[in-house]
Amino acid sequence: MPLQNQKHLFDLPEEITYLNTASQSPSFKSIYQAGLEGLKQKSLPHTIKVSDYFEPVTELKKLFAQLVEVEDYNRIATIPSASYGIATVANNIKLQPGDEILVIDEQFPSNVYSWQKLAEKYNATLKTVGTPKSKTNRTKLWNEAILNAINSKTAVVAMGNIHWSNGSLFDLKPIREKTKLQNALLIIDGSQSVGALPFSVKELQPDALICAGYKWLFGPYGCGYAYYGAYFDNGSPIEESWMNRLHSENLAGATNYESQYKPLANRYSVGEHGNFIYVKMQIAALKQVLEWTPKAIQNYCKSITFEAVEKLEKLGCYIEDPNHRTHHLFGIELPNKVDIQALQKDLSSKNIYISFRGNFIRISCHLFNTSQDFEPLIACLSKHL
- Among 126, 133, 129, residue whose Cα is nearest residue 156: 126
CA 191 to chain centre: 1
Judge contact between 317 and 381, C-beta under 8 A. yes
Query: What pLDDT sits at residue 295?
Result: 98
Give the integer Cα–Cα distance in Å for 95 and 98: 8
Residues of the chain where predicted confidence (pLDDT) is lower than 50: none
* SS3 (DSSP) at 149: helix
Q: Which domains can be identified in the chain, with CATH numbers?
A: 7-21+293-384 (3.90.1150.10), 39-291 (3.40.640.10)
pLDDT of 244: 96
Cα(81)–Cα(69) distance, integer angstroms: 21
Q: What is the pLDDT of residue 92?
A: 98
pLDDT tens figures, 35-90: 999 999 999 999 999 999 999 999 999 999 999 999 999 999 999 999 999 999 99
Q: Residues with Cβ < 8 Å from 59, sequence gap 6 or more?
A: 283
For position 145, what pLDDT does the model report? 97
pLDDT at 151: 98
CA neighbor of 251 nearest in space, from 274, 282, 218? 274
What Rg value do the Cα atoms of the chain yield, rounded?
Answer: 22
Count Cα neighbours of 48 within 13 Å in the Cβ-side half-sphere: 16
- Closest C-alpha among 124, 131, 199, 132 to residue 156: 124
Query: Any residues with CB less than 8 A from the CB of 79 and at least 6 apart, and which?
Result: 85, 88, 210, 223, 224, 225, 226, 268, 269, 270
pLDDT score, position 254: 87
Question: Mind spelling out the 3-state secondary structure of 295-333?
Answer: HHHHHHHHHHHHHHHHHHHHCCCECCCHHHECCCEEEEE
What is the SS3 assignment for 90?
helix
